[in-house]
Amino acid sequence: MLPKMLSYRELFLIWTILVLGALSLPTLAQGDDQTLLIKHITLVSPEQEAPLPDMDILVADGRIIRIGKQLKASGASIIEGRGKYLIPGLIDSHVHLGSDGGVLPDETVENKALIESFRTQEPRSYLYFGFTTLMDLMQSEGFAKKWQQLAVRPDLMYCKGVPFANGYGMAFQPEEVRFKTPYFIYDPAQRESIPHDLDPAAHTPEAVIAKVSKTKAACIKTFHESGFGGLWNWPVPGNDVIRRLNDLAGEAGLLHIHHGNSLASYEQAAVSGVDIMAHGLWHWGEENGSEQIPPRVKTVLHQLVTQGTALQATARVIAAELDVYDEDFLANEDIRHSLPAQLLDWHKAGNSDWFRQRMDKMVRENPGVVRRFLGREPIGTVGETSRAAIARLEKTVRHLKGLGATFLLASDTPSSPTYANPPGLNGTMEIELLHQMGLSLSDVFSAATINNAKILGIDGEVGTIEVGKRANLLVLERNPLETIKAYTEIETIIIGGQPIPREQLSATVENH
Q: Which residues pair with 492 in a beta bridge?
A: 475, 501
Mean pLDDT confidence for 145-161: 97
Render the burial of 425-449: b for 16+ CB within 10 Å, e for the rest.
bbbbbbbbbbbebebeeebbbbbbb
User: Of 20, 86, 25, nearest to 466 (Cα)?
Assistant: 86
pTM of the model: 0.92
Rg (CA), the chain: 23
The confidence score (pLDDT) of residue 511 equals 55
pLDDT at 90 over 50: yes
Q: What pairing do the DSSP bridges indicate for beta strands 90-95 and 131-136?
A: parallel
pLDDT at 31 over 50: no
Q: pLDDT by residue (tens digit) across 307-320?
A: 999 999 999 999 99
Q: Which residues pair with 55 in a beta bridge?
A: 41
The confidence score (pLDDT) of residue 107 equals 77
pLDDT at 165 over 50: yes
Mean pLDDT of the chain: 91
298 or 105: which carries more pLDDT confidence?
298
263 or 13: which carries more pLDDT confidence?
263
SS3 percent helix, strand, coil of the chain, rounded to 5, is 40, 15, 40
> In a 3-state reduction of DSSP, which class is residue 506?
coil
Q: pLDDT by residue (tens digit) across 351-380?
A: 888 889 988 998 899 999 999 999 999 998
The confidence score (pLDDT) of residue 499 equals 98
Q: What pairing do the DSSP bridges indicate for beta strands 255-259 and 219-223?
A: parallel
pLDDT at 171 over 70: yes
pLDDT at 463 over 90: yes
Mean pLDDT confidence for 152-166: 97
What does the alpha-carbon distance between residue 286 and residue 289 come to, in Å, rounded to a whole number?
Answer: 8
User: Of 89, 124, 209, 213, nearest to 461 (Cα)?
Assistant: 89
CATH of 89-458, one of 3.20.20.70, 3.40.50.300, 3.20.20.140, 3.30.390.30: 3.20.20.140
Q: pLDDT by residue (tens digit) across 183-206?
A: 999 999 999 999 999 999 999 999
What does the alpha-carbon distance between residue 14 and residue 8 come to, in Å, rounded to a whole number?
Answer: 10
User: Of 243, 204, 253, nearest to 14 (Cα)?
Assistant: 253
The confidence score (pLDDT) of residue 27 equals 32
Helical ranges in 252-282 per DSSP H: 263-272
What does the alpha-carbon distance between residue 314 and residue 434 come to, in Å, rounded to a whole number?
Answer: 9
DSSP codes of every residue in 26-86: ---SSSTT-EEEEEEEEE--TTSSS-EEEEEEEEETTEEEEEESS---TT-EEEE-TT-EE
pLDDT at 290 over 70: yes
